[in-house]
């Protein structure tokens, strides 16, 4: 039995990031089972991911590179902490992956280097396969907002989002020391969340 008492029994990257940035929102979403953050941008990104998983992206995004396993699930134990990841695109032959991002704000190499989700996924692969991935690629699918829909004059309507078809790719190489730091961060977050969750349960 794990010594960490986590709300879902495992730690995901989104949960870890939420804990680091907004513990009040974390408590509401994970301890109290409140509504998750939901925006039109998140919904659009999930729609693109589903399209790719089902192989329906080729007309819209003909240049997108898709590996053998889209939406590849990894559940493993990192230094006693159960973690769960869904990697956008996994190549088991070379043990590398691709992460897909949508949005109108451009990604840069510097932004990719600082993006800790890639380190979290690389750490998951290291512990699941026994081998650290050498690199990953991040594919930015540029999106744009169209005109406001006027289906109902009396209601405020959102601008529709669509892709421009432009894809920009960035390569991110990994270093063993980076993954070791991520392992330590996973353990620290799991420890802090577990302690807070035990207190929450005791107060109910």
Instruction: Summarize pLDDT for 174-204 with one digit per residue, the tens.
Output: 999 999 999 999 999 999 999 999 999 998 7
Domain ranges of the chain: 13-203
Question: Which CATH number among 3.90.320, 3.30.70, 3.30.110, 3.30.420 corresponds to the domain 13-203?
Answer: 3.90.320
For 16, the token pair is 């870890």
pLDDT at 18: 96
The total number of residues shown for the chain amounts to: 204
pLDDT tops 80 at residue 42: no
User: What number is the average pLDDT over the span 124-128?
Assistant: 98
CA angle (102 as vertex; 126, 46 as ends), nearest 5: 75
Strand ranges across the sheet with 69-78: 69-78, 81-91, 96-103, 135-148, 159-173
pLDDT at 150: 54
pLDDT tops 80 at residue 1: no
Read off the pLDDT of residues 80-120 as tens digits, 9 standing for 90 and up: 999 999 999 999 999 999 999 988 889 999 999 999 999 99
pLDDT at 155: 44
pTM of the model: 0.86
DSSP 66: -
Q: CB–CB of 163/100 below 8 Å?
A: no
């Amino acid at each position: 039995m794990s010594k960490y008492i986590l709300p879902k029994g495992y730690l995901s990257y989104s949960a870890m990031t939420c804990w680091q940035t907004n513990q009040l929102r974390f408590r509401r979403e994970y301890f109290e089972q409140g509504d998750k953050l939901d925006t039109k941008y998140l919904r659009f990104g999930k729609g693109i991911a589903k399209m790719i998983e089902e192989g329906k992206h080729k007309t819209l995004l003909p240049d997108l590179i898709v590996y053998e396993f889209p939406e590849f699930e990894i559940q493993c134990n990192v230094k006693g902490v159960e973690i769960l990841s869904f990697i956008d695109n996994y190549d088991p032959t070379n043990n590398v992956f691709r992460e897909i991002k949508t949005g109108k704000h451009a990604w840069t190499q510097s932004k990719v280097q600082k993006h800790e989700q890639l380190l979290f996924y690389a750490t998951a692969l290291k512990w699941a396969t026994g081998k650290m991935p050498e690199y990953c690629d991040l594919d930015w699918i540029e999106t744009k907002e169209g005109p406001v829909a006027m289906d109902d004059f009396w209601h405020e309507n959102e601008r529709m989002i669509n892709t421009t078809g432009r894809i920009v790719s960035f390569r991110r190489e990994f270093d063993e020391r980076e993954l070791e730091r991520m392992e330590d961060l996973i353990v620290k977050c799991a420890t802090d969340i577990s302690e807070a969750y035990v207190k929450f349960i005791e107060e109910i």
